[in-house]
Amino acid sequence: MSDPNERPPLVVLVGPTAVGKTAHSLALAQALAGEIVSADSRLLYRGMDIGTAKPTWEERQRVPHHLIDVADPDEVWSLGQYQDAAFAAIDDIWARGRVPLLVGGTGQYVWAVVENWRIPRVPPQPRLRAVLEAWGQRLGPEALHRRLAVVDPAAAARIQPRNLRRTVRALEVIFTTGRRFSEQRGKGPPRYRVLMVGLWLPRDVLRQRIAQRLDAMLAQGWLEEVRTLLARGYSPDLPALSGIGYAELIGYLQGRWSLEEAKARILRRTYTFVRRQANWFRRRDPRIHWFRSDPDVWTRILPLVQRFLASPGAGGGNAPDALGAPS
């Protein structure tokens, strides 16, 4: 739609891991008669509940959730597949007269929806992908990334050198189509009128919460969850099981390091991940209203959302509602 006022509104809640998105999105959704569309790549997979801080069954009974538990750990969802599913879920929620909330910390997922990225719809090429992955494992992710930089510098600049999965996908598309991956990307007309809200905490507070959450996850049975996945025959080499925490706990179960070392590795990877999230959702981004997270923050966010839903044309920007957003 060319007129922004004619686009259906979409409320988006972003922020780093452990900042409190789940609790506050539940409260907002209940207050707005809304439903939550997950924008977290880790929540796609069945059987991976504790280590992904997935909303509990009780929470999902309180508020309908979408794009959670839609794949087995040995399935790989492309960004295009996620985008199609997210568009379908959001449109269906509005068709039923309810309010969609896109919630998560996977930057690619959020911006693919908000900015209507044009994503190459090249089906997976299993044999080519296997060759590229083997090459990457033999040479190392950074070496394969350097090969990508030779054939498509623009694509390489947008991919972390250690992200083997994204590097392989870019090369797969290039070799399949004969065109640069970056040339097949772009943005279409926005599908929604968007209000973006971000939650933040000071770095030291967030680190403390991450450490406390790790201890709580282990107490809840995260190790047993990992054992169960391996016992069901899922390979430790699957992309889903190379995610933060799962790879480290698998290493502990295989005797490669102690539980304390596994915990230290999990924390280091999590802190790095939080820095990457900050790059996706910059605090100076004028599209995002930033709020410091606390137990009652959703009550201050709610009036902003209600005004947005009632006022066509309202949208992003760091309004006075955003309390204490850091520079």
- pLDDT tens per residue across span 170-191: 999 999 988 888 887 788 899 9
Q: What mean pLDDT is reported for the chain?
A: 91
CB 290 within 8 A of CB 325: yes
Longest CA pairwise span in the chain (Å): 59
d(CA 137, CA 144): 9
What pLDDT does residue 283 have? 82
User: Taking residues 266-287, what's their average pLDDT?
Assistant: 93
CB 144 within 8 A of CB 97: no
Nearest to 234 by CA among 220, 216, 215, 253: 253
User: Taking residues 234-253, what's their average pLDDT?
Assistant: 95
Top-confidence residue, 234 or 324 = 234
* pLDDT higher than threshold 70 for residue 42: yes
d(CA 17, CA 270): 8
User: Taking residues 55-61, what's their average pLDDT?
Assistant: 95
* pLDDT higher than threshold 50 for residue 203: yes
d(CA 184, CA 164): 20
What pLDDT does residue 3 have? 62
Residue 123 pLDDT class (50, 70, 90 cuts): confident
- Percentage of the chain surpassing pLDDT 90? 74
* pLDDT higher than threshold 70 for residue 321: no
d(CA 113, CA 104): 12
The backbone torsions φ and ψ at residue 60, rounded to the nearest 5 degrees and listed phi first, read -75, -20
Q: Which of 73-77, 90-94, 243-247, 304-308 has the lowest mean pLDDT?
A: 73-77
Q: Which letter does DSSP use for residue 55 in this model?
A: P
In DSSP notation, 256-300 reads SS-HHHHHHHHHHHHHHHHHHHHHHS-TT-TTEEEEE--TTHHHH
User: Taking residues 87-101, what's their average pLDDT?
Assistant: 97
What pLDDT does residue 316 have? 46
What pLDDT does residue 317 have? 45
d(CA 113, CA 82): 9
- Percentage of the chain surpassing pLDDT 70? 94
Residue 304 pLDDT class (50, 70, 90 cuts): very high
* pLDDT higher than threshold 80 for residue 2: no
d(CA 178, CA 201): 45
Model pTM score: 0.86
What pLDDT does residue 323 have? 37
Residue 136 pLDDT class (50, 70, 90 cuts): confident
What pLDDT does residue 306 have? 97
* pLDDT higher than threshold 60 for residue 109: yes
**Structural domains of the chain in order of their starting residue, each with its CATH number:** 4-118+188-310 (3.40.50.300), 126-184 (1.10.20.140)
What pLDDT does residue 4 have? 65
